[in-house]
Amino acid sequence: MKLGINLGYWGAGMDADNLAVAKEADQLGYSVCWAAEAYGSDAATVLAYVAAQTERIDVGSAIFQIPARQPTMTAMTAATLDSLSGGRFRLGLGVSGPQVSEGWYGVKFDKPLARTREYVEIIRKAMSRERVSHDGAHWTLPLPDGPGKPLKLIVHPEREQIPLYIAAIGPKNLEQTGEIADGALLIFPAAEHLEETALQHIRAGREKAGKTMEGFDVCPTVPLALGEDKDVSTLADMFRPYTALYVGGMGSRKQNFYNQLAQRMGYEKEAAEIQDKYLAGDKEGAAAAIPQQLIDSTTLLGSVDRIADRMRAYAEAGVTTLTINPAGLTLADRLASLRAGIEAMERAGLA
């Protein structure tokens, strides 16, 4: 199992620290540095900035939002970033959610699976540097009865194939991800539930495509907070607002993929209460309603030895790249979390 880091969203108040964290991760031997986007900073610019000031670590989009870009533009961006970084780019894609897709981009959030499949098909064609033609339900290239003609990407990526990941939560999306992608970006993963919530569906998709799990990157993101084991409850409290946002308020009542994931993990009653309170404006009440076990099982909390035990559980469950989000109120805290991640990997016998 390898380690990655996720910088989250640029512009969240820790920008100078984020670059220092990326540089330290590069020196420590972390495998990949991911950046996110929603409706603030874009991930491509951040990744170019980080790649220019690091040497070995891969840079990856977690995620580029499918409604934000035409698929050929995403292929152009991926090829450019791979070229500029010396072959260190990983392309992560996701459909975002209905509120962002329709409210920010003006793109109808319908048939996300079919849209993702077409998007990936076009990107694969473009990055293979063949002339791109596509006649689908969502994209037609070139447009018929006009001056357009099939064009070929003129930028040469550093590598023949750029690794392509999809952010997936629901069973059908996970299965399709196994079928058409090189890796899956997961969130709120509990090692104890990984098989039934994710891996069985990914494996079914791989089998549909005539492939095994060999070479497929199972890549969840987990926050990490270093501290004493006796303070795990206090450390867990740090992530209550984060968990409440996703389980309670990310998406609509009917379309909240994270809430549905919590239900599949056995927290049906609690997930409903968290959502009810969050959508009613009681964010503190929603955070208080989150079971500590839900937070503890989807984060890395406590001493290096305790974190090592959790890392070993993730590796045994089938994780191949464990991405951490190093917590801390100061840069020193976040750097300490980074170093603890490497030390825990070594103690777990996974380095």
Q: Please write the tens of the pLDDT for every residue from 87-132.
A: 999 999 999 988 899 999 999 999 999 999 999 999 999 999 999 9
Above 80 in pLDDT, residue 15?
Answer: no
End-to-end CA distance of the chain: 8
Residue 291 belongs to domain spanning: 240-298
Same domain, 279 and 208: no
pLDDT of residue 14: 65
Tokens 């996110």 correspond to what residue? 36
For the residues 311-322, what does the mean pLDDT come to? 98
253 occurs within a structural domain:
yes
Tokens 């968990």 correspond to what residue? 243
The structure tokens listed for 37 are 């986007």
74 occurs within a structural domain:
yes
Same domain, 15 and 100: yes
179 occurs within a structural domain:
yes
Same domain, 25 and 169: yes
Same domain, 120 and 177: yes
pLDDT one-digit tens code per residue, 121-176: 999 999 999 999 999 999 999 999 999 999 999 998 898 899 999 999 999 999 99
Above 80 in pLDDT, residue 13?
Answer: no
292 occurs within a structural domain:
yes
Q: Which of 298, 315, 338 is the C-terminal boundary of a domain?
A: 298
Same domain, 217 and 278: no
E strand spans, the chain: 2-6, 32-35, 58-61, 64-65, 89-94, 134-135, 140-141, 164-167, 183-187, 217-226, 300-302, 321-326
235 occurs within a structural domain:
no
CB proximity list for 20: less than 8 A, separation 6 or greater: 331, 335
Residue 276 backbone phi and psi in degrees, to 5: -55, -45
For the residues 183-200, what does the mean pLDDT come to? 96
CB atoms within 10 A of CB 145: 6
CB–CB of 50/84 below 8 Å? no
Same domain, 223 and 248: no
Same domain, 221 and 106: yes
d(CA 217, CA 32): 12
Same domain, 310 and 294: no
Same domain, 90 and 151: yes
CATH number for 87 = 3.20.20.30
Same domain, 38 and 178: yes
pLDDT of residue 253: 82
Same domain, 56 and 174: yes
Residue that wins the pLDDT comparison between 257 and 325: 325
Above 80 in pLDDT, residue 44?
Answer: yes
Give the number of domains in the chain: 2
Percent of the chain exceeding pLDDT 90 equals: 91
pLDDT band at 323 (very low <50, low <70, confident <90, very high): very high
234 occurs within a structural domain:
no
Same domain, 281 and 308: no
